[in-house]
Structure 1
């Protein structure tokens, strides 16, 4: 699921950082990724992923923006992004889904509120 408004806002921040050259590492990383063969949108998406991660760390730990940490992560692109995404995939594979929901009996009233038996309504 993609929140297009949030994505547009994050891309606007990345565009502003590149335009204003603040922090300088953003524009430098953008040009480096372009030189490596990434398209403009792919480059901005990689930078945005690091920006989101940094924003998460700032909000989670209630701390100031750490420009040096942000620049270190940008300097490691695209390897850093690929490593993070492969770590997420391996974590997803090891998770087990456990459902603790009670099943609805065929003769129970339907939870949709129609007043009919489940088997004659939504079942």
Structure 2
């Protein structure tokens, strides 16, 4: 699951770089460009929530520091087996952060339309 999330994020990031070049007609509709940026922002919100949660967890477990290589980039922690034994899943926090960020963006955009 980790590789699927990471590769989809990198593909969307590359598409947004290509689309942002002036004169590029890959995505002509402005709404689609805005939606692409919303999804990229939601990815970043999910990643940020995972890092914040693991910073708090590492402080409570008695570890000296949060090791992003072991805790974040470990592909075994990005599966659906949350709550089974001592194994923690990062996927739960990522999905919550992704959805929460997307809802905030949606509500903000609806609020701007009314004013």
- The TM-score with structure 2 as length reference comes to 0.34
Rg larger in 1 or in 2?
A: 1
Bigger fraction of residues in helix: 2
- The TM-score with structure 1 as length reference comes to 0.32
**Greater RCO (Cα-Cα under 8 Å, separation 6 or more):** 2
